[in-house]
Amino acid sequence: MRIKGRAWKYGNNVDTDVIIPARYLNVSTAAELAPHCMEDIDPTFASSVKSGDIIIAGENFGCGSSREHAPLAIKGCGVSCVIASSFARIFYRNAINIGLPILESPDAASDAENGHELEVQIEAGTIRDLTTGKTYATAPYPRFMLEIINAGGLVPYTKANMKKRRRV
């Protein structure tokens, strides 16, 4: 999976209440959440982000509550990947469960700036900043996690595997 997009940079400790404010938790579809993604930290984000763009952040991205709404809102906006110095553990798993690739790279997160053009190769575990020419390595995903991401999340992955087992 190759991803190419513009960087949207945020700082440390971006919590789930900033990613999708609690006042919107009465809805649960990506389409309904997307217009409100990041609105309390960056009111122009949802209306300006383009499909394929990439969020860059510092440490502890996705801290706070364990709601799945946060990565769902990000994916609903068309964001193709999140790169951060580190992620809150529950956010990390929720992102994988909905098929949103996330990568830990303190150096890429520190060096990339708003508007930089990035290229990410998920399987290889590489991030290339096309603006600066720098390349960063990340730990590649285990095969089963790549399969979940490529399927679009845990539910589509499970459904596809159940169909395969029925055919056998």
> The CATH number of the domain where 15 resides is what?
3.20.19.10
Residue 155: what are its φ and ψ, rounded to 5°?
-65, -50
Task: Say if CB 66 and CB 95 are below 8 A apart.
Answer: no
What CA–CA distance (Å, rounded) separates 112 from 156? 33
12-48 pLDDT, tens per residue?
Answer: 999 999 999 999 999 889 999 999 999 999 999 999 9
Which of 18-22, 66-70, 99-103, 135-139 is least confident?
Answer: 66-70
Q: What is the pTM for the complete model shown? A: 0.93
The total number of structural domains in the chain stands at 1
Domain that includes residue 19, residue range: 2-167
